[in-house]
Structure 1
Amino acid sequence: MEIIMGKYFGTDGFRGEANVTLTVEHAFRIGRFLGWYYGQNHEDGKAKIIIGKDTRRSSYMFEYSLVSGLTASGADAYLLHVTTTPSVSYVTRTEDFDCGIMISASHNPFYDNGIKLINDKGEKMGEDVISEIEKYLDGDHAEVPLATHERIGCTIDYAAGRNRYMGYLMSLATYSFKGMRVGLDLANGSAWSIAKGVFDALGAKTYVIHAEPDGTNINTDCGSTHIESLQELVKREHLDVGFAYDGDADRCLCVDETGEVINGDLILYIYGCYMKERGKLISNKIVTTVMSNFGLYKALDAVGIEYEKTKVGDKYVYENMSKNGYRIGGEQSGHIIFSKYATTGDGILTSLKMMEVMLAKKKTLHQLASPVTIYPQVLKNIKVIDKAAAQNDPDVQAAVAKVAAKLGDDGRILVRESGTEPLVRVMVEAGTHDICQECVDSVIEVIKAKGYAI
């Protein structure tokens, strides 16, 4: 189901600065509504709702607020404690929960936080429920009743659910990791409680960095958004591979044995080829977003793999995969969805799948990625009065067509609008950085000349 871009909830939950734009009152009322809403599905009025959180200082505050709201409405709240977003998704869909809640702002700085809602299938919550929550937050929905007597909910420690998720990840490994030297950057975040245990159990010699969360250091100069220290670790310790996660571990970037970053596009290529070789690539399709690199498409063309392009956002990738039954899709940022095993991007699962290809093919990550040439890219944003008018202007479209013709099969141009700001984004990928720059500037000059720029 489509997720509404509402007043509070965006494509990835309700996110904002803790106690500024996202407050304990918001969390309490979200809990109150969800406890009542799902309680209607049960004769005794007791919904079962699971909660996970990342390592931000404010995550505890929001957890207690949500629990208060849920139990006041009669729901039982099950606590996974510090865990990953994909683990909440897994436990929700496999253990008969009405819905799941993840408290995290993903790769944002520590002072931000977010509330992600997950339906009983382990997918992002649908528009119908989100819109009702938004009405309730704004007082446009009837007040929901408080539970009394034995109908008041209780709180249940459910760390066992997290352990079962770890067991599930281990069960997916088809090879022992014995003898493999693996670096893990845990971003001082959610992966801290899970990733090392999984890799150790599978026999790897693990070298772990950024695994000392203190509530304020999540994503700070570490993890998939700051991968430099993992690159240094891999080179210094001569490791076979390194994996970096973001704050809630729903994405993963890799570092090969030479210290080079293997991003989401390269992960899609490596695993897509592996699936095709084994006859597992359903419909011979990989799902990407429009921001995947031109070099990925050239490499996929060379091996005869087809692809879909969605709007930017892992939710659009999952919608396409779900609708068409495709098995693999993702984004450059490292959100990779393996639909046979998960309903969301899962960073630790992604790293296990990369290990599988390396071990099955007896090749290094560098060798596996080598057929792909990543093209230089220049992306510029221009602030405009009217996004649609700027893009639809005949002269602007002519300038874009001229660039496309000039690049031919050796590059591409993409012009799209920002979903949240008054910006038009102009992106070009080509053989050299100078060509990219020249082509982007030629389109932006026309936008300015036609009077659209602010």
Structure 2
Amino acid sequence: MKLFGTDGIRGVAGSYPLDDATILAIGAAAAEVLKEISPDRAVIIGRDTRQSGEHISGLLERAFSSRGIAVWDVGVIPTPGISHLVKQQPVLAGVVISASHNPYQDNGIKFFGHDGTKLSDAVESRIEALIALMKAGKDQPLAEAAGADKPGLLTDGYSDFLARSFTGGTMDGIRLVLDCANGATCVLAPEVFRSLGAHVTLINASPDGKNINRDSGSLHPGALSKATLAARAHCGIAFDGDGDRVMFVDEKGVVRDGDYFLAIAALHLRGRQRLVNNTLVTTVMANLGLMRSMERYGVSVHTTPVGDRYVYEAMVSSGSVLGGEQSGHVIFKEYHSTGDGILSALQMISIMKESGKPLSELASVMEKYPQVLINARVGKKIPLESLPETGRSISEAQGTLEGDGRVLVRYSGTENLLRVMIEGRDEKVITKMAHVISETAQKEIGHL
């Protein structure tokens, strides 16, 4: 029974695997497995602004309490805030209730171990195995449970940590527009930037439980681009629903994604002899333009599968201090072990201040290749090697590109989607290729 995807357990709230019985089993199983790893007997739980979050939190509190684990519920907080707090407190784990950038109907449960990092595949497998036993009726969670504590001072510690990470002095005179995606950063992000002296304009910062990520945030930066120009801002900053990723808009209204940010940050750190081992870690989804830029400046690039957990693991093994994804998950290992949208934005403003350059000029270090990404809905995830027609269409596309571009086809780790990504010099050509591959795969899978 596979429950964990690339970033925890996700689904439609109220339906398997986020029905009440399975949530109770998830909490109880996680408690039992994590107790074997850490001697502490408390967990910290936080969530984003989805209407289902409080109900799921209550079920998890009941499950953990029934296993002798105290629960510290900090309410709405960005996902990386839980990772940070876990490292500062005597707890065995942190739990985040969020489906990140997904619509409000979805939700999810993800865990951070006592060291603040995401759980390994091996630990997740042990939890899944125990959930299966519980669901079979062989080990049910107890019904009685104590209430949860809500230590508000914990979140103050996270806010202070973020502010201390800013190395650019003050933000006096800096105009920013923040798009909080009606999610977990709505309160904390403006507080942090204003405390440092920035003039902040807010958009999409009025959550109602159903509007998280709706036409807003890092997946939909169009409104931010317009707002940045209207406010004559130095920079626009867009978070996703749970605050672990960020996108930027420069002073000219141009969207700058995680690849641009990684290029800018890598060269900034390299120029100050702080890019340890002269290595940047990113994923297979990174734009070819990032690779070419790093080659030009002599920076080594280590690629991983998609997921900031895999990025962090590679950073640890390679000794790198910087890694991230095109989607805006960026890890500065000097400060954190996971992607943190607010912290990343603070680092970007620090670079702008220290360099004295506007974001548009900083971004000129990289020229993006045209990239087409199609998310094709599929009924089931058939191994790609079992799809000969799809394989032939992929080979034909690769042959057409002749090494000046690339084709990447993979299944989503969280949804029934086949992701077809192609990069090349001619956008019309690669768009046609991507549609041929996705349509061929959908047809072939539908016949199996």
What's the TM-score, normalizing by structure 1?
0.88
Q: Secondary structure at the match of 2:23?
A: helix
Q: Does 1:413 align with 2:406?
A: yes
In the other structure, the counterpart of 1:3 is none
Contact residue 377 and residue 429 of structure 1 kept, 8 A = yes
Please, which of 6, 13, 31 is the counterpart of residue 8 of structure 2?
13
Q: Secondary structure at the match of 1:165?
A: helix
In the other structure, the counterpart of 1:166 is 159
Q: Give me the whole-angstrom Cα distance separating, in 1, the residues matched to 2:205 and 2:74.
A: 19
Q: Give me the whole-angstrom Cα distance separating, in 1, the residues matched to 2:7 and 2:326.
A: 17
Q: Give me the whole-angstrom Cα distance separating, in 2, the residues matched to 1:398 and 1:390.
A: 12
Contact residue 187 and residue 244 of structure 1 kept, 8 A = yes
Amino acid at match of 2:224: L
Contact residue 375 and residue 419 of structure 2 kept, 8 A = yes
Contact residue 399 and residue 446 of structure 1 kept, 8 A = no
In the other structure, the counterpart of 1:24 is 20
- 1:114-143 CA distance string (max 9 Å, x none): 111110111112234322332333235852
Count residues in correspondence: 439
- 1:292-331 CA distance string (max 9 Å, x none): 1111112222222121121222222122112212111111
Amino acid at match of 2:28: R
Contact residue 399 and residue 443 of structure 1 kept, 8 A = no
1:374-385 to 2 correspondences below 5 Å: 374-379=368-373
> 1:442 Cα shift?
8.2
* Structure-2 change in CA distance of 1:141 and 1:174 (3 Å): farther
What's the TM-score, normalizing by structure 2?
0.89
Unaligned stretches of 5+ residues in structure 2: none
The structure with the largest alpha-carbon Rg is 1
1:255-266 to 2 correspondences below 5 Å: 255-266=249-260
Q: Secondary structure at the match of 1:192?
A: coil
> 1:154 Cα shift?
5.2
Please, which of 314, 321, 331 is the counterpart of residue 325 of structure 2?
331
> 1:41 Cα shift?
7.0
Q: Give me the whole-angstrom Cα distance separating, in 2, the residues matched to 1:387 and 1:41.
A: 37
Contact residue 36 and residue 144 of structure 1 kept, 8 A = no
Please, which of 96, 104, 114 is the counterpart of residue 102 of structure 1?
96
- 1:129-170 CA distance string (max 9 Å, x none): 32233233323585267599xxx7552212211110100011
Q: Give me the whole-angstrom Cα distance separating, in 1, the residues matched to 2:28 and 2:274.
A: 44
- 1:325-348 CA distance string (max 9 Å, x none): 211111111011111111111000
Q: Secondary structure at the match of 1:312?
A: coil
Amino acid at match of 1:302: R
Q: Does 1:387 align with 2:384?
A: yes
Q: Does 1:321 align with 2:318?
A: no
Q: Give me the whole-angstrom Cα distance separating, in 2, the residues matched to 1:402 and 1:32.
A: 51
> 1:37 Cα shift?
4.3
Q: Does 1:76 align with 2:70?
A: yes
Unaligned stretches of 5+ residues in structure 1: 1-5
Q: Secondary structure at the match of 2:263?
A: helix
| Deviating more after overlay: 157-166 vs 360-369 | 157-166
* Structure-2 change in CA distance of 1:84 and 1:401 (3 Å): closer
Q: Give me the whole-angstrom Cα distance separating, in 1, the residues matched to 2:202 and 2:436.
A: 46
> 1:74 Cα shift?
1.4
Q: Secondary structure at the match of 2:43?
A: strand
Q: Give me the whole-angstrom Cα distance separating, in 1, the residues matched to 2:300 and 2:44.
A: 38
Contact residue 250 and residue 256 of structure 2 kept, 8 A = yes
Amino acid at match of 1:187: A
| Deviating more after overlay: 357-366 vs 335-344 | 335-344
Q: Give me the whole-angstrom Cα distance separating, in 1, the residues matched to 2:298 and 2:119.
A: 35
1:225-240 to 2 correspondences below 5 Å: 225-240=219-234
- 1:232-255 CA distance string (max 9 Å, x none): 110111111011100100000011
Q: Secondary structure at the match of 1:417?
A: strand
1:253-292 to 2 correspondences below 5 Å: 253-292=247-286
Please, which of 150, 154, 174 is the counterpart of residue 157 of structure 1?
150
Q: Identity of paired residues, percent?
A: 35
* Structure-2 change in CA distance of 1:124 and 1:232 (3 Å): same
Contact residue 181 and residue 218 of structure 2 kept, 8 A = yes
Please, which of 182, 186, 195 is the counterpart of residue 192 of structure 1?
186
* Structure-2 change in CA distance of 1:48 and 1:298 (3 Å): same
1:35-114 to 2 correspondences below 5 Å: 35-39=31-35, 47-114=41-108
